[in-house]
């Protein structure tokens, strides 16, 4: 893949984003690349040629996103119709999707521009709300679809079917339906499994279920899930990727299925998924060779 045009999106709420954007832009321009800046960050650094965010993905061969996982999630949903690779550069303290750390940005970009990188096609989910005579297509998510009781004082009842077959009625604070990418987000905090992104499956995970035998379930990627809300009180909340929310009322049905869209992420040239898990989850420790020597990630041995 030949990269000639690069777009930059940044979370302007992050203090470092203007300086990092300007630095990377100048570095790319010095190497003869065409650089487009999203209009918000362009205004922050005094550039007059910013591009509307929704139009940026179609202009470039690569999108660089400064921020955290939330910025990646918004970008993924916005450009779900495109196949533009996204590389995330982490400006925060924690992130699974922003794989490149700020201190290794230029070295990583050198490798990416030289074609020494891999991409991952991350599965997405489509969600639709059906209520009364109206049908509203909620959208597409990279991480998860969450139904929760919101401000309700009692648990909600969530009648759940898979491929038109009744599964169970969860009596819980809510329900998470997640992709493998989303398995390390809210679902993990709610006791769900970590699922490798390559597995392409769907996780159903109840939040604080009233019945302790209600456990997370892993479904095949082609499963269609329908969840009907039953509650005597008014409404609950449906949240997409933790960022977009809708109110659903008793009797509404939420349909979730694998999307035809995918998110194309550039893998870090410096670490694999296992190392990211070790780092983010604080598992710690270095591997030990057969002779009992501790071995660092770069292969160096220590007594």
Q: Whole-number mean pLDDT of the chain?
A: 89
Q: How far, in whole angstroms, is CA 2 from its chain's centroid?
A: 26
CA distance 253 to 180: 23
CB atoms near residue 161 (< 10 Å): 17
Which token pair is 184?
């390390």
Q: Is 287 left (phi over 0), alpha (psi -120 to 50) or beta?
A: beta
* Least trusted range by pLDDT, from 26-30, 164-168, 230-234: 230-234
CA distance 38 to 173: 39
pLDDT given for residue 133 in this prediction: 55
By C-alpha distance, which of 206, 178, 184 is closest to 69?
184
Is 24's pLDDT higher than 70? yes
CA distance 62 to 41: 17
Region 217-240: what's the mean pLDDT?
A: 92
DSSP state of 151: T
Is 302's pLDDT higher than 70? no
Is 300's pLDDT higher than 60? no
Residues 6+ apart with CB under 8 A from 27: 106, 109
45-96 residue pLDDT tens: 999 889 999 999 999 999 999 999 999 999 999 999 998 999 999 987 667 8
Question: How much of the chain, in percent, has pLDDT values that exceed 90?
Answer: 68
Phi, psi of 194 (to 5 degrees): -85, 125
Fold of 124-261: Tumour Suppressor Smad4 (2.60.200)
Q: Are 85 and 262 in contact (CB under 8 A)?
A: no
Domains of the chain, residue spans: 5-117, 124-261
Is 290's pLDDT higher than 70? no
pLDDT given for residue 288 in this prediction: 62
122-132 residue pLDDT tens: 999 999 998 75
pLDDT given for residue 39 in this prediction: 95
pLDDT given for residue 136 in this prediction: 65
Q: Does the annotation mark 69 as catalytic? A: yes
129-174 residue pLDDT tens: 987 556 666 799 999 999 998 776 788 999 999 999 999 999 999 9
Exposed / middle / buried, residue 130 (Cβ in 10 Å: 0-12, 13-18, 19+): middle
Give the residue, 27 or 213, on which the prediction is more confident.
Answer: 27
- Top-level CATH class of 5-117? alpha beta
13-22 residue pLDDT tens: 999 999 999 9
Residues 6+ apart with CB under 8 A from 275: 297
pLDDT given for residue 30 in this prediction: 97
Exposed / middle / buried, residue 169 (Cβ in 10 Å: 0-12, 13-18, 19+): middle
Give 185-189 contacts, CB < 8 A, sequence gap 24+: 185/69, 185/96, 185/143, 185/144, 185/242, 186/143, 186/144, 186/146, 186/242, 187/144, 187/216
Region 202-227: what's the mean pLDDT?
A: 95
Residue in 49, 61, 69, 296 annotated catalytic: 69
Which token pair is 57?
């993905």
Q: Are 230 and 173 in contact (CB under 8 A)?
A: no
Q: State pTM to two decimals.
A: 0.89
- C-alpha dihedral, 168 to 172 to 174 to 180, nearest 10°: -60
């Amino acid at each position: 893949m030949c990269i000639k045009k690069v777009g930059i999106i940044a979370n302007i709420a992050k203090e470092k984003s203007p300086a990092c954007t300007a630095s990377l832009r100048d570095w790319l321009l010095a190497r003869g690349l065409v650089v487009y800046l999203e209009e918000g960050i362009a205004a922050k650094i005094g550039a007059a040629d910013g591009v509307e965010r929704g139009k940026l993905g179609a202009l470039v061969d690569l999108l660089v996103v400064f921020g955290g996982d939330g910025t990646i999630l918004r970008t993924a949903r916005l450009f779900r119709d495109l196949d533009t690779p996204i590389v995330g550069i982490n400006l925060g303290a924690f992130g699974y999707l922003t794989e490149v750390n700020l201190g290794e940005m230029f070295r990583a970009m050198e490798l990416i521009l030289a074609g020494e990188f891999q991409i991952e096609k991350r599965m997405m989910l489509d969600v639709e709300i059906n209520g009364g005579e109206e049908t509203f297509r909620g959208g597409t998510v990279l991480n998860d679809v969450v139904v929760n009781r919101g401000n309700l004082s009692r648990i909600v009842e969530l009648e759940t079917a898979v491929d038109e077959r009744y599964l169970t009625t969860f009596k819980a604070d809510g329900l998470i339906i997640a992709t493998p990418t989303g398995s390390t987000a809210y679902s993990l905090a709610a006791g769900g499994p970590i699922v490798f992104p390559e597995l392409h499956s769907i996780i159903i995970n109840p939040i604080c279920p009233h019945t302790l035998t209600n456990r997370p379930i892993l479904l095949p990627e082609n499963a269609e899930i329908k969840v009907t809300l039953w509650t005597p009180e008014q409404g609950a909340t449906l949240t997409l990727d933790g960022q977009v929310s809708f109110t659903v009322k008793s009797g509404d049905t939420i349909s979730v299925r694998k999307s035809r869209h995918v998110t194309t992420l550039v893998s870090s040239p410096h670490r694999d998924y296992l190392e990211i898990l070790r780092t983010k989850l604080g598992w710690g420790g270095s591997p030990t060779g057969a002779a009992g020597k501790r071995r660092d990630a770069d292969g160096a041995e220590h007594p």
